[in-house]
Structure 1
Amino acid sequence: MTRRDLLKLGALAGAATMIPRALAQASAPAPKPKPVHVDALDGVARAAQPLNILILGGTGFTGPHQVRYALARGHKLTLFNRGRRPKEWPAEVEELTGDRETSDVKSLAGRTWDVCIDNPTSVPHWVRDVGRVLQGRVKQYVFISTLSAYADTATAGMTEDAPLAKYTGPDVMQETRATLLANLALYGPLKAACEQEAEKWFPGLTTVIRPTLIVGPGDDTDRFTYWPVRIARGGEVLAPPPEDPVQLIDARDLAEWTIRLCEQRAFGAFNGVGPAAELSTAALLHGVRAAVGGDARFTFTTAEFLARQRVQAWSDLPVWVPGQGETLGFHRVSGRKSVASGLTYRPLAVTAADTLAYWKALPEDRRAQPKAGLRPEREAEVLRAWHARPAG
């Protein structure tokens, strides 16, 4: 797998959760809220200094977790989206509407907030438009970026000062989500350009978070979800090389840490990666099995074999990418700075069990159409090929 392939798969997965939702909001009533596992937040301590927080895109994957945690910490919240979802939020959450794709951000004009958290942006003109109305009106701008913003993933231990991808097209401000979908290799460069645009409008007040694969209840891409669901089904499970590393972050850990960074007024870039210690593919799968139960038996294969069978990393066997070559460093990114700033992690067992519970609560027709992972018949075909390969 090349870096270009990985960027395409990552961008496609991200775009798949954003664009259809945005189009639906523009033409249909607010959808029925998705079932999302709710943690008990009664014991969360109130923040020493309540903040007035604006969240752009607070209704997606990580947004609802941000909202709930921020409310538990005693903060005041305003959400900006294309459509209202009055049944999804308690009365104390203010909702503003607009359309960033058409530069309609007038509902933000003339207002002030302590913090603005920008969750869904993947094209720079969205940052520019918000910057024009919020410059001088927020004390901190938090941009949720991606590890794909880095120029390459071939080096292990990459820190936040590693080189970023460069946009080489004709005009970065003319790029839209439609042009991104047409050329998914733009995903990393456009995210990097968004970071630079944020610093232009909010110099010295910008916080950039570059997450790895975001997982857990509420994930609509089914990438990590494939493993708890497949392992719970039991039987022989096709698995990637056992020694390759894996990094992921529970959406709730990411969301809660983001709010704490706001409370600290922590500026600069942070890698949103986890867990704290390196996790191998084998440890991941065995950990999921311990959490969900069942009699799953893992058949670990090799990257070379999977390539010959046209089994795609990241999509057919989600979460995993080869731990060598152009993706050697993709799952070996340094998270030391983030841990020092207060990033904490739920146990893998909690993430796995809650993800499976979330999946089981989805409608049957949705569960019949998983968006990632191998179909049972295709998995069985590849397993037969593995067992029939020549000895040695």
Structure 2
Amino acid sequence: MTTSRRQFLQYTLAAAAMTACATGTRSTSGDGRAAPKKILVLGGTGFLGPAVVAAAQARGHTLTLFNRGKTRPELFPDVEKLQGDRDPNKGAGLKALEGRSFDAVIDNSGYYPRTVGASASLLAPNVGQYIFISSVSAYAKNDTPGADETAATATLADPNVESMGKNFENYGGLKHACEVAVEKALPGRTTIVRPGYIVGPEDRTDRFTSFPWRYAQGGEMLAPGSPSDPLQIIDVRDLAEWLVLLVERNTTGVFNAVGPEKPWSMGELFAACKEITGKDTKLTWVSGEFLQKNGEDGEGALPIWAPAFGAYAGMHRRSNARAVQAGLKFRSPAVTTRDTLEWFNSQPEERRSKLRGGLPPEREAELLSLWAKAQQGTPVAPAAQGG
């Protein structure tokens, strides 16, 4: 794997130890619903957090949010909000959590083992379950199709580092170190969830959104790789609903949160785009080898897609069998694609005019031109690396 591709995959999974799975008894109320739980969400106002709050409220649970109060503080006026800092050495730190008890914690905002360990240790005496949202970047490699939760995990050259690194090269190792810190504080009471690419409405990265949006523009579109290249995503709403289920069932263990349940492909993504938009956009499939040769090996222009060979052969082929067995369910990825595009189209013009993912038009045109010449056998010099 090239260093730049590895670093980019770490980065785009950011914006995303234990192998046993034990399922506890699920108590229910008289109407068959799970008994109400007191749930603390560390974070709660970014992308995944609001979906968790909505899912938990729909199930009748009581929520408390702990964050700095800086990101969308207007959300959820009916939910208790505690302000502080994940770093106990900054400002009020974790003081607002002292002496508080909860049935479960869902940690959406943990990136450094020192601060994650601090919250886990503080809460350990007074919580039943600690769910940590990690990432598939916690794995050391992406080269094995079907790899499950027992695959080797990433390590850090400096175990005390508190920086993602210039190119997010520390992201995966830090996530795994956070997992270890949580398990150390609450042995046997932790749930480690390793999502792949989380997508859906409200995704501010535009990593996935860029594909249906670009398709809707029509004309000739560069389609990376081949129609059979695998694609694993998880709808933020599916992930959130499952996290609440894990709380209700007191399920512990380590899980790959990747979807859909059955294999999906780039070709199926674009078929969904055609059905949704009614457009007949011309797709020009450009090989992964050609894209790598011309600099598209992970510098930001082609998010989510990865070459389906070599060091990336397992990138979109991880096993989700354990999570499915633990109750993870998926809506159709075509529905996710439709809802995501509808959400994006509902945004103000200023937001829609500044797509944050995908190939810039001039870069796409350049690569399509080079590809056409290559197919005709015309010698061409590699294009400059995209960004």
Q: TM-score, normalised to structure 2's length?
A: 0.88
Q: Distance in 2 between matches of 1:214 and 1:182?
A: 23
**1:144 aligns to 2:129 (yes or no):** no
Aligned to 1:371, the other structure's residue is in SS state coil
Matched AA of 1:88 = L
Which runs of structure 2 are paired with 1:1-392 in the superposition (5 Å)?
1-2=1-2, 4-13=3-12, 47-83=33-69, 87-91=74-78, 93-103=79-89, 104-169=93-158, 171-172=159-160, 175-176=161-162, 179-182=163-166, 184-242=168-226, 243-313=228-298, 315-391=300-376
CA offsets 1:142-199 (integer angstroms, 9 cap, x no match): 0000001011111111111112112220x42xx33xx214351111111000000000
Note if contact 1:247-1:332 (Cα within 8 Å) is conserved in structure 2: yes
Say if 1:7 and 1:187, in contact at 8 Å, map to a contact too.
no
What letter is aligned with 1:62? L
Q: How many residues end up aligned between the 2 structures?
A: 358
SS in 2 for 1:65: helix
Partner amino acid, structure 1, of 2:11: L
Aligned equivalents of 2:232 and 2:145: distance in 1? Answer: 12
Structure with more helix by fraction? 1
Residue 390 (structure 1) shift = 4.3
Letter in 2 for 1:105: L
1:314–1:321 Cα contact (<8 Å) kept: no
Q: Distance in 1 between matches of 2:210 and 2:32?
A: 36
Q: Secondary structure at the match of 1:74?
A: coil
What do the CA deviations read for 1:183-224 (whole angstroms, capped 9, x no partner)? Answer: 511111110000000000010000000001111111111100
Gaps of 5+ in 2: 17-30, 378-387
Are 1:292 and 1:352, in contact at CA under 8 Å, matched by a contact in 2?
no
Moved more, 61-70 or 76-85: 76-85
| Shift in alpha-carbon separation, 1:6–1:256, aligned structure 2, 3 A | farther
1:270 and 1:331 mapped to 2: Cα distance? 15
Aligned 8 A contact 2:43 2:109 in 1: yes
The structure-2 alpha-carbon separation of the partners of 1:318 and 1:12, relative to structure 1 and needing over 3 Å to count, comes to: closer
8 A Cα contact 1:225 1:356, kept in partner = yes
Secondary structure at the aligned position of 2:171 is classed as helix
In the aligned structure 2, how far is the partner of 1:47 from the partner of 1:379? 51
Task: Tell me how far apart the structure 2 counterparts of residues 323 and 66 of structure 1 sit (CA, whole Å).
Answer: 32
Paired AA for residue 233 in structure 1: Q
Provide the secondary structure at the position in 2 that maps to 1:136: helix
Q: For residue 141 of structure 2, give the secondary structure of its aligned residue in structure 1.
A: coil
C-alpha deviations, 1:60-119, integer Å up to 9, x for none? 11110110110010000000010175532141x110000113540110000000000000
Conserved? CA contact 2:190–2:252, under 8 Å = yes
Secondary structure at the counterpart of residue 110 of structure 2: coil
> How far apart are 1:291 and its partner, in Å?
2.1
State the SS of the aligned residue for 1:294: coil
Give ranges in structure 1 of 5+ residues lacking alignment: 19-44
What is the alpha-carbon distance in structure 2 between the residues aligned to residue 238 and residue 150 of structure 1?
A: 30
The SS at the match of 1:267 is strand
Q: CA deviation at 1:306?
A: 1.1
Q: Which amino acid aligns with 1:326?
A: A
> Matches of 1:81 and 1:338 in 2, distance apart?
28
Check 1:271–1:330 CA distance in 2 against 1; reply closer, same or farther (3 A cut): same
| DSSP 3-state at the match of 1:180 | coil
Determine the C-alpha separation between the residues in 2 that align with 1:346 and 1:371.
Answer: 25
* C-alpha distance in structure 1 between counterparts of 2:197 and 2:5, whole Å: 12
User: Separation in 2 of the partners of 1:231 and 1:382?
Assistant: 17
State whether residues 208 and 268 of structure 1, in contact with CA within 8 Å, keep that contact through their aligned partners in structure 2. yes
Conserved 8 A contact 1:239-1:317:
no
What do residues 225-271 of structure 1 show as CA deviations (whole Å, max 9, x unaligned)?
10111011111110112222111101111111111011111101000
Normalised by the length of structure 1, the TM-score is 0.87
Q: Distance in 1 between matches of 2:12 and 2:139?
A: 18
Distance in 2 (alpha carbons) for counterparts of 1:161 and 1:364: 46
> Aligned partners of 1:234 and 1:295: how far apart in 2?
7
